[in-house]
């Protein structure tokens, strides 16, 4: 939407711009049926990037799992949540599906030297996979400093609640799971019947939406 002809300047780079008639017509002309959006959850820049004046441009560093990022909302508009919901409804009315790229393999709290922002302060040992024998350190299967312990019942519940919110309240048609094998890790390695996968298959709201796994 930053360069597509016909998008009003005020809507470029916004949720509303993605659902503008000029954008919809463009998708239709291309034969597109489904839009997969890179992360729209509220994210933070890692400290190492910020110190160098850089940013996590694509947003793969989630901290606000229930919050659409306000950086894609119109200034002075109805707010990110309302604008996102309207975008999804408009695209679906035009026959297009909306799939979200979601990051549940790690969070923006980083490694042991990172900031305490949410999960670390609430229940560090349940939220993250810690190194056996040295629980001050984090297992780093994500390459981003920490690994969410999705096999823990409360973390499974948390992720399921997030997914239900985006389907039930925001209307999306499915998800692309970033580093999906991490979500199936147990102490015995990867398990295709890990708690999270079992929960997904039996959930009445989520069982029928699209699931795409990054290998």
Which residues are annotated as catalytic?
Answer: 178, 214
CA distance readout (Å), 16 to 8, 99, 101: 10, 16, 19
Distances (CA, A) of 35 to 52, 142, 147, 178, 203: 33, 25, 28, 16, 24
**Count of C-beta atoms within a 10 Å radius of residue 55:** 14
Q: Are strands 130-131 and 134-138 parallel, antiparallel or unpaired?
A: antiparallel
| Residue 213 C-beta-side C-alpha neighbours within 13 Å | 9
Bridge-based pairing of strands 185-186 and 130-131 is unpaired
H/E element, 212: strand 210-213
């Amino acid at each position: 939407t930053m360069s597509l002809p016909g998008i009003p300047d005020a809507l470029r780079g916004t949720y509303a711009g993605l659902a503008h008639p000029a954008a919809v017509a463009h998708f239709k002309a291309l034969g597109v049926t489904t839009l997969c959006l890179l992360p729209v959850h509220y994210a933070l820049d890692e400290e190492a990037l910020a110190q160098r004046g850089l940013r996590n441009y694509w947003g793969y560093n989630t901290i606000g799992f229930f919050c659409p990022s306000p950086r894609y909302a119109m200034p002075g508009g109805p707010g990110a949540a309302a604008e996102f919901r309207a975008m999804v409804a408009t695209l679906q009315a035009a026959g297009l599906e909306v799939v979200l790229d979601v990051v549940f393999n790690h969070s923006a709290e980083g490694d042991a030297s990172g900031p305490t922002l949410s999960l670390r302060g609430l229940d560090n040992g349940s939220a993250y996979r810690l190194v056996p024998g040295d629980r001050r350190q984090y297992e780093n299967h994500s390459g981003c400093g920490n690994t969410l312990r999705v096999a823990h019942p409360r973390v499974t519940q948390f992720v399921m609640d997030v997914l239900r919110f985006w389907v039930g309240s925001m209307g999306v048609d499915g998800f692309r799971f970033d580093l999906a094998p991490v979500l199936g890790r147990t102490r015995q390695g990867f398990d295709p019947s890990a708690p999270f996968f079992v929960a997904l298959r039996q959930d009445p709201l989520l069982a029928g939406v699209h699931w795409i796994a990054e290998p």
